[in-house]
Chain A
Amino acid sequence: MLHGWVIATGSFAYLGLLFAIAYYGDKRADAGRSLIARPSVYALSLAVYCTTWTFYGSVGRAASTGIGFLPIYLGPTLMAGLWWFVMRKMIRISKVQRITSIADFIASRYGKSQSLGGLVTVIAVVGIIPYISLQLKAVSNSFSILLHYPAIVMPAKVAAQPLWQDSALYIAMILAAFTILFGTRHLDATERHEGMVAAIAFESIVKLLAFLAVGVFVTFGIYNGVGDVFSRAEGVPKLQALMTISSSASSSYGNWWSLTFLSMLSIMFLPRQFQIAVVENVNEKHLGRAIWLFPLYLLLINVFVLPIALGGMMHFPDGTVDADTFVLTLPMAEQQEWLALFVFIGGLSAATGMVIVETIALSTMVCNDLVMPALLRMPWLRLHERSDLSELLLAIRRWAIVGILLLGYVYFRAAGEAYALVGIGLISFAAVAQFAPAIFGAIYWKGGTRNGAMAGLLAGFAVWAYTLLLPSFAKSGWLPAEFVTDGLFGVTLLKPQQLFGLTGLDEITHSLFWSMLANIGCYIGFSLATRAGVAETSQATLFVDALRRSENIGGIPGSRIWRGSAHVHDLLPLISRFLGPDKARESFSDFARRRGVASIEALQADADLVNYAETLLAGAIGSASARVMVASVVQEEPLGVDEVMNILDEASQMRAYSRQLEQKSRQLEDATAELRAANERLKELDRMKDDFMSTVTHELRTPLASIRAFSEILLDDPKTRLHDRERFLGIIVKETERLTRLINQMLDLAKIESGNAEWHATEVDVRAVIDEAVEASGQAAGQLFRDKAVQFDVQQPVTVPPVMVDRDRLMQVVLNLLSNAVKFCADSQGRVAVRLQQQGAALRVDVQDNGPGIDPKDYAMIFERFRQVGDTLTGKPQGTGLGLPISRQIIEHFGGRLWVESAAGQGATFSFTLPLETAARA
């Protein structure tokens, strides 16, 4: 009943169904009602991880190593726990930077390096080809087996079949056509294919149901439950060994650990996984559900692997049937046609899912990171001048898809028989594991540089090729077998699977060890040894700090380090060339609206616009090429590394703060110094006050002592002669007068100094004052100094402007100066000269005597309280010593100055000034 055409029709019907789902999904996406914006759909789409390797190969591996098939699925389960950190960061970065592939991710991080993107693409393509051929092998084998129903015939050796009879070739071509239809109908700026994701999610369900169906059938249909299968298997000694992990090289703990590790890396870095998990991700929040739903899927699809394997081993005991085919041959053996067809469809599902996504991802990388950069470097193509490049890009991608699938077929014909399915797949896992150091460094280590990544990738890839890829060719006869057995050029240490004498490891663990050593060592070593460029450093910050920056998915990321000049009318045509004029105008209008600008023409061509243009282009041709294209229309001024460092340097902020602090503390110091000085001054004044008090009391005590002494004499001796009595009483009277005068003057001085004196300012004619004072002094002189004939000489102009001063006080000053002059002028021929003149805005009065003069060193002293010149020599109390200080205070209060000029032996001249514009000082 299962004729060839039934199978073929069924297959095409299924493929048609897939295509319809994809088409519908794209339609819904364009309408804005996305079919796949659900976390469960995202989680199911991740199950593209399960290919025919899972569907057929797991059973095959379980049949030879028992539970050794499982680490490939335990690894992703464990890794899911870390996705919260790693995957979220990668998704965030990719959304912000508009990353479209794994090569784009690495290239973008390390300074948008085109060479790095190209290298990653080459490694990815070379590494994944075996995996694709695995799918082809599985589909073609299962097809041929099913074709022979009801007989169970193993497919003939591949090499024996002529090319045109090889179903695998046709399958490859059909898959290529299907993939082109799926993924290259148009160019999307974000490289997202919603329809494809919907189809993949559907396929995951079909896979799971098919496998569960056959599992239930074998376990409960053929046998009586899980326990029955195992207990029956116990009876067979060969199978008993499968119940535990043996210590043979192919299933030891080392193997267990390295497979777990490899699958942990592959679940993220296989190009199809990156495409589905990161690029196609609709919403970062979907990751949460996927973290547990995806491992659950893996658990469910693996539950029946062991029962099927054991059942098959018991059903076909003599090894005629390949364990890889048990899922198909067991239903066939039991005449379950429709189940067998369903299983075949399930296997087809697994294969097509893998091929479509993987090939689309690879073709995107080939186009953006390998072909376009190469074409852009050929100026004779004049790509910059082409008006529409979108068709060219699509053509490149289609040819890439065809090329990749053909290469997969070639590898299948050449090497497909040397390995069981699982063995081929592991080679690919080990290849994509080489991306791990560069990517983990990209998102966690700002010190990772482009040179480091290049060196690490080259070293890792080289070691991988040497230890895994070439031996696989040797085992299928493409290279001489001695290469594996004896080493390169016969050097034992260079045996590709026992490098440098490291034995005892299975080939995967061995390769993993050496390639990781080389990769990580070179990555770290070269990163530390070289300096990063400017572009790299800014990208490093954007990547490593991605989760710390504010969410800005909608448009422009946090900071943009760029300097240059551009014009909108240069950028718009550039974008139009790649995305089409309508799409370009739409995007720019959107940008303008978001900026609050009226129209595209009014847009400023600043860093943000250039960045936006670059990200739009990156979606179509990859970020490295986008940068080149935009740079060609923009005059970019290179930033020096120092400038970038300054922009990024937070320490400069710290410096500003500390400068402020310094300033504040200096102000504080100044204030403290001022306070200290004020304190000193207060203490000084206090001391002066004490001096004053002691001097005053001394001055008061002297006359009081005389008065008391003479009074006591008079009292004690009643027989004192009248002459003496008169004399003593005279002294007493004079002393009391002196005392009174002293006290009055002291009070006066105190009042003036403390500002409590009363000043009555009136218009005063200084001439009149001087005349009056001279006359009074003359009389006084006559009275006081009988033996002195003093001649007064007055010179003053006819009129002088009046001054506003206190008349009595002015009189006091003049009288004081005159009486001093009289006291100290020469004994005979004493002359006192008084001169009044106007000097500018002031009046000046000079009082000159022809006495002994004053030594210049005593100038300051005579204006001090209680100090008189020569009072110790003459012995006669000539005055109180307060006259000059009081006069000075008075003159200074009027706004003038009082000073003395003299030379020894030539008399002294006391001068004072009175400003004419004296402010009224009450």
Chain B
Amino acid sequence: MTTLTATGQRLAAIFLLGCVLLNYPILDLFNKPVEVFSIPLLYLYVFSVWTVLIGLLAYVIESRSGDRRQ
């Protein structure tokens, strides 16, 4: 197995977070015919979570390569 560096651990954590947030049953919580800013709740939720996950991934990767010049 690879050595579990801090970066690897954080990325794995983001993976698990995504799995939980973007699946049943959490997903079901937002599966309501409700609108927020005229946008259906479900769509807003999924796209927001998606954006946040990408942001986290970017943050973990870029801050790592920031201190260690690659």
A interface with B by C-beta (< 8 Å)? 67, 70, 74, 77-85, 88-89, 226-228, 230-231, 234, 240, 243-245, 253, 256-257, 260, 285, 288-289, 291-293, 295-296, 299, 303, 306, 444, 547-548
In the bound complex, residues from chain B placing their C-beta under 8 Å from that of A78 are 15, 18-19, 22, 53
Query: In this complex, what residue of B is CB-closest to A240?
Result: B33
A233's nearest neighbour on chain B, judged by CB, is: B40
Chain A residues lying within 8 Å of B57, measured Cβ to Cβ, are 80-81, 291-292, 295
Closest to A289 in B: B61
Q: In the complex where A231-B38, A253-B24, A256-B24 touch, is A244 in contact with B54 (Cβ < 8 A)?
A: no
Complex formed: what's the CA distance from A889 to B19 in Å?
A: 98
A77-B53 CB under 8 A given contacts A67-B43, A230-B39 = yes
Could you say which residues of chain B place their CB within 8 Å of the CB of A245?
A: 27-28, 31, 42
Q: Is the CB of B35 within 8 A of A230?
A: yes
Docked complex Cα distance between A289 and B61 (Å): 7
Task: Digitize B1-28: 1 where CB-to-A-CB distance is under 8 Å, 0 elsewhere.
Answer: 1110001100110110011001110011
Most buried by A among B35, B54, B70: B54
Kindly state the separation between the CA atoms of A83 and B7 in the bound complex, as whole angstroms: 12
- CB nearest to A81 among chain B residues: B15
Given A70-B46, A85-B12, A253-B24, the answer on whether A244 and B38 have CB atoms closer than 8 Å is: no
Residues of the B chain whose Cβ atoms lie less than 8 Å from the Cβ of A240: 33
The interface on chain B, measured as residues whose beta carbon lies within 8 A of the other chain's beta carbons, has a size of 39
Contact A244 B2 (CB under 8 A): no
> Could you pull out 13 A-B pairs where Cβ atoms are within 8 angstroms?
A80-B57, A81-B15, A84-B8, A226-B39, A230-B39, A244-B33, A244-B40, A253-B27, A285-B70, A288-B65, A291-B57, A295-B57, A299-B54
Majority secondary structure, B binding face: helix
Q: With A67-B43, A306-B43 given, is the CB distance from A244 to B18 under 8 Å?
A: no
Give the residues in chain B near A295, CB-CB below 8 Å: 50, 53-54, 57
B8 contacts across to A, CB distance below 8 A: 84-85
Give bound CA distance, A240 to B40, whole Å: 10
* A256 contacts across to B, CB distance below 8 A: 23-24, 27
Min CB gap B50→A, angstroms? 6
Query: Nearest Cβ in chain A — how far from B41, in angstroms?
Result: 8
**Chain A residues within 8 Å of B42, by CB:** 67, 243-245
Q: How far is the CB of A574 from chain B (nearest CB, A)?
A: 36
Interface centre among B7, B39, B40 (most CB of A within 10 A): B40
Residues of A within 8 A of B31 (CB): 244-245
**Nearest B residue (CB) for A290:** B61
Q: Is A77 a contact partner of B33 (Cβ separation < 8 A)?
A: no
Dominant secondary structure of chain A at its interface with chain B: helix
How many Å lie between the Cα of A234 and that of B7 in the bound state? 44
Q: Which 6 pairs between the two chains have the least Cβ-Cβ distance?
A: A81-B15, A227-B38, A292-B58, A292-B57, A243-B40, A253-B24
Residues of chain B contacted by A299 (CB below 8 angstroms): 47, 50-51, 54
> Which chain B positions have C-beta within 8 A of A444?
1
Contact, CB under 8 Å: B58 / A243: no
The distance from the CB of A401 to the nearest CB of chain B, in whole angstroms, is: 36
Contacts of A291 in B (CB 8 A): 11, 57, 61
Cβ-defined contact, A67 with B53, below 8 A: no
B13: nearest chain-A partner, CB-CB: A81
Contact A77 B61 (CB under 8 A): no
Q: Cα distance A89–B2 when bound, in Å?
A: 8
Q: A83 to B57, alpha carbons, bound, how many Å?
A: 11
Bound CA–CA A852/B51 (angstroms)? 124
**Most-contacted residue by chain B among A85, A89, A227, A234 (CB, 10 A):** A85
For residue B24, which residue of chain A has the nearest CB? A253
User: Considering the chains assembled together, what is the distance between the CA atoms of A291 and B8 in angstroms?
Assistant: 12
List 11 additional A-B contacts (Cβ < 8 Å) besides A240-B33, A285-B70: A78-B22, A85-B8, A243-B40, A253-B28, A256-B23, A256-B24, A291-B11, A292-B58, A295-B53, A295-B54, A444-B1
Inter-subunit contact A288/B70 (CB<8 Å): yes
Q: How far is the CA of A240 from the CA of B42 in the complex (A)?
A: 12
The interface bits of chain B over 40-70 (1 if a CB of A lies within 8 angstroms of the residue's CB, else 0) are 1011001100110110011001101100001
Known contacts A230-B35, A244-B40, A292-B57; A547 and B2 CB within 8 A of each other: yes
**Shortest Cβ distance from residue B20 to the other chain A in the assembled complex, whole angstroms:** 10
The answer to whether B33 touches A243 (Cβ under 8 A) is yes
Which residues of chain A come closer than 8 Å to B53, judged between CB atoms?
77-78, 295
A440 to chain B, nearest CB (A): 13
A78 to B50, CA, bound (A): 9
A77: which B residues are within 8 A, CB to CB?
A: 18, 50, 53-54
Residues of A within 8 A of B64 (CB): 288
Q: Kindly list chain A residues whose C-beta atoms are within 8 Å of the C-beta of B15.
A: 78-79, 81-82
Chain B neighbourhood of A83, CB < 8 A: 11
Q: How far is the CB of A75 from chain B (nearest CB, A)?
A: 9
Q: Which of A244, A260, A306 has the most CB of B within 10 A?
A: A244
Residues of B within 8 A of A81 (CB): 11-12, 14-15, 18, 57
Report the minimum CB–CB distance from A68 to chain B (whole Å): 11
Find B32's partner among A227, A228, A244 (CB 8 Å cutoff): A244
